Chain A
């Protein structure tokens, strides 16, 4: 158990819908990272937050957004969902903003029908 929690574990929805994925980092970690893992793309970095502020952005679509709250949990919002958004979404956390050792949560499996 990495100490990072994610909910829900599974999510099935329809195209055009909007979903919210939730992540709670390890106790004491200030950075939260979101990654998408699909069959043909591997693990792709989406976005990083540190202590409530956005710190780095990867290949995140404009339909996707994230935020980190004062209690340091983070939410990833996916809207206008398309079939191709079906993937595993992982959250990871680390102590600071320069700490490369990231600990991953169990992931949320999203299926868009």
Chain B
């Protein structure tokens, strides 16, 4: 089946540092999404990317849809304690079926 390779699996950083994570696939996708999940909560949509090469920002978050349509990255600038959580990339397959395929997640831990 379709698989996303998300890296790194976990990150331990100091408050104030910038964060970068990425997601790659061997298949082409038309839509890349980034979600954040807090403990005990459902995933919350952070950024949606619909066009190859698109660079989109949401506050301190910036995400890009790779030009090959096979990858995406998410950057967080000047991290703060509330950024702690698990970040998932997700794609909507070209087939039109609306299931989302998720990466395995990047667990972000911030030391104050």
Contact = CB atoms under 8 A, between A and B. Distances in A.
Interface residues of B, number: 23
Contacts, number: 64
Given A43-B90, A45-B99, A100-B48, 20 more contacts: A2-B42, A31-B98, A33-B100, A42-B104, A43-B88, A44-B102, A48-B97, A48-B98, A55-B98, A56-B97, A56-B98, A58-B99, A90-B42, A99-B98, A100-B92, A104-B42, A104-B44, A106-B41, A107-B41, A107-B42
Interface of A: 2, 4, 31, 33, 35, 42-45, 48, 55-56, 58, 90, 92, 94, 97-107, 109
B26 to A, nearest CB: 17
Given A100-B33, A100-B48, A100-B92, A43 B98 contact: no
Contacts of B101: 45
Given A33-B99, A45-B99, A106 B42 contact: yes
A82 to B, nearest CB: 22
Given A42-B104, A43-B88, A104 B98 contact: no
Among A58, A104, A106, A109, the most chain B Cβ lie within 10 Å of the Cβ of A104
